[in-house]
Chain A
Amino acid sequence: MSIKTEVVNDSTFTIQIGERFDFSLVTDFRNTYEDLDPKVKQIDIDLSATQYMDSSALGMLLNMQKVLADRQLTYRILNTRPQIARILQISRFNKKFDIQ
Chain B
Amino acid sequence: MVKILIVDDEEINRIMLREMLSEAGYSDFIEAGNGLEAVELACRHKPDIVLLDVIMPGMSGTEAAPHIKASSPDCYLPILFITSLDDEQSLVRCLASGGDDFISKPFEKIILHAKLKAHERTRQLSLEIQDKNRSLTYFQLEVERNHRIVEHIFDNAIGQNSIAVDYFDFYTQPEAQFNGDLFLCEQSPSGGVYVFIGDFTGHGLASAIGAIPVAQLFTAMTLKGLAVGEMASRINRLLVNLLPADMFCVASILEINANGKNFTVWSGGLPRLAVKTPEQQIRLLIDPQHMPLGILEEHEFDNQTQYFETEWGDTLLLYTDGLMESHHKELGMLGEEGVEKWFTMNQQVSAQLLVDKAELYRAGEAADDDITIALFQCRPFQFKPPELLAKPVPFNLSFHLTAEHIKDVYVIDQVVAIVNSIPGLAAIRSELFTVITELTNNAIEHGILGLSSDLKAEPEGFIEYYERRREGIENLQQGDIWITVQRLMPDNVLEICMQDSGPGFDVSVLQSSEDQTFGRGFVLIRELCESLQISDSGKQIKIIMSLMPTVDDTDIPE
**B residues within 8 A CB of A19?**
227, 229-230
**B residues within 8 A CB of A8?**
none
B452-472: which have CB < 8 Å to A? 456, 458-459, 462-463, 466, 469
B402-434: which have CB < 8 Å to A? 409, 429-431, 433-434
A53-100: which have CB < 8 Å to B? 53-56, 58-60, 62-63, 66-67, 79, 81-84, 86-87, 90-92, 95
B222 within 8 A of A: no
B518 within 8 A of A: yes
Contact A82 B259 (CB under 8 A): yes
Contact A90 B227 (CB under 8 A): no
B441 within 8 A of A: yes
Docked CA distance A66–B457 (Å): 10
Docked CA distance A44–B462 (Å): 21
The smallest beta-carbon distance between B192 and chain A, in angstroms, is 10
Contact A82 B551 (CB under 8 A): yes
A43 within 8 A of B: no
Docked CA distance A24–B523 (Å): 21
Docked CA distance A55–B304 (Å): 24
Which secondary structure dominates chain A's binding surface?
A: helix
Docked CA distance A86–B264 (Å): 17
Contact A51 B307 (CB under 8 A): no
Q: Sort chain B's interface into a size bin.
A: 35 or more
Contact A91 B520 (CB under 8 A): yes
Known: A48-B264, A86-B551. A81 touches B307 (CB 8 A): yes
- Report the interface size for chain A: residues with CB under 8 A from the other chain: 36
Contact A62 B431 (CB under 8 A): no
Docked CA distance A82–B264 (Å): 11
Bits for B518-558, please: 1 = Cβ < 8 Å to A, else 0: 10110110011000000000000000000000110100000
Contact A48 B441 (CB under 8 A): no
Contact A54 B430 (CB under 8 A): no
The smallest beta-carbon distance between A92 and chain B, in angstroms, is 6
Contact A67 B459 (CB under 8 A): yes
Which residue of A22, A59, A81 contacts B456 across the interface (Cβ within 8 Å)?
A: A59
Which residue of B431, B459, B469, B514 contacts A66 across the interface (Cβ within 8 Å)?
A: B459
The smallest beta-carbon distance between B550 and chain A, in angstroms, is 7
Contact A49 B229 (CB under 8 A): yes
Contact B462 A63 (CB under 8 A): yes
**B residues within 8 A CB of A83?**
430-431, 551
B438 within 8 A of A: yes
Docked CA distance A82–B306 (Å): 14
Docked CA distance A55–B528 (Å): 12
B517 within 8 A of A: yes
**B residues within 8 A CB of A1?**
303-304
Which residue of A30, A55, A58, A84 contacts B463 across the interface (Cβ within 8 Å)?
A: A30
Contact B459 A63 (CB under 8 A): yes
User: With A59-B462, A63-B456 given, can you name 20 additional A-B contacts, CB distance below 8 Å?
Assistant: A1-B303, A20-B433, A24-B409, A49-B304, A51-B429, A55-B441, A56-B441, A58-B517, A58-B520, A59-B517, A59-B518, A63-B517, A66-B462, A81-B264, A81-B307, A82-B262, A90-B528, A91-B514, A91-B520, A91-B524
Q: List 22 A-B contacts (CB under 8 A).
A: A19-B230, A23-B441, A23-B469, A24-B409, A26-B463, A26-B466, A27-B463, A49-B229, A51-B430, A54-B438, A54-B524, A55-B441, A55-B524, A56-B441, A59-B462, A60-B462, A63-B463, A81-B264, A82-B257, A82-B551, A91-B523, A92-B514
